[in-house]
């Protein structure tokens, strides 16, 4: 299993500013995943963060807007840059961890971002 500590849990930000979200995992993992969940919607993968290399971004997400750091095997940050109200969403980090039945996705508590 894996326990993920994510912070901040929520924030209200002014448009044009940036927010950095942090995730700390209690065990070493090769990959960490960042998802966005807009109100009432599903989880959309933003990018996969590997330690020691650049993150891999999904279609529609770019590094300039969502820079990611992965300095070691237990930590990652996602920055939401030059924010606009359309960025208001819940951001979640996730890892795939070993479980008795194979693998399981574990999530941080989420960061609820409101851009005003």
Partner 1 sequence: QQPVQSPQAVILREGEDAVINCSSSKALYSVHWYRQKHGEAPVFLMILLKGGEQKGHEKISASFNEKKQQSSLYLTASQLSYSGTYFCGTPTPPDMRFGAGTRLTVKP
Q: Residue 86: helix, strand or coil by DSSP?
A: helix
Tell whether residue 110 is a contact of partner 1 (CB under 8 A): yes
What lies within 8 Å, CB to CB, of 62 at 6+ separation is none
Tell whether residue 13 is a contact of partner 1 (CB under 8 A): no
Query: Could you say which residues in the range 29-48 bind partner 1, by CB under 8 A?
Result: 31, 33, 40-43, 45, 48
User: Which one of 70, 101, 113, 114 is in contact with partner 1 (CB under 8 A)?
Assistant: 101
Instruction: Count the neighbouring beta carbons within 10 Å of the beta carbon of residue 101.
Output: 6
- Closer to partner 1 by CB, 14 or 101: give it: 101
What is the rounded distance in angstroms from the CA atom of residue 30 to the CA atom of residue 73?
6
Give the largest CA-CA distance in the chain: 45
Tell whether residue 96 is a contact of partner 1 (CB under 8 A): yes
- Closer to partner 1 by CB, 82 or 113: give it: 113
Q: Which stretch binds partner 1 (CB under 8 A): 11-19, 21-29, 68-76, 92-100?
A: 92-100
Q: Residue 70: helix, strand or coil by DSSP?
A: strand
């Amino acid at each position: 299993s894996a326990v993920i500590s994510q912070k901040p849990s929520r924030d209200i930000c002014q448009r044009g500013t940036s927010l950095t979200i942090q995730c700390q995992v209690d065990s070493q993992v090769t990959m960490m995943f960042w998802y966005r969940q807009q109100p009432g919607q599903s989880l959309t993968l933003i990018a996969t963060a590997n330690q020691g290399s650049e993150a891999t971004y999904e279609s529609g997400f770019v590094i300039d807007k969502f820079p990611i750091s992965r300095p070691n095997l237990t930590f990652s940050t996602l920055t939401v840059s030059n924010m606009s109200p359309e960025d208001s969403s819940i951001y979640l980090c996730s890892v795939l961890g070993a479980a008795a039945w194979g693998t399981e996705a574990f999530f941080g508590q989420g960061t609820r971002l409101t851009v005003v």
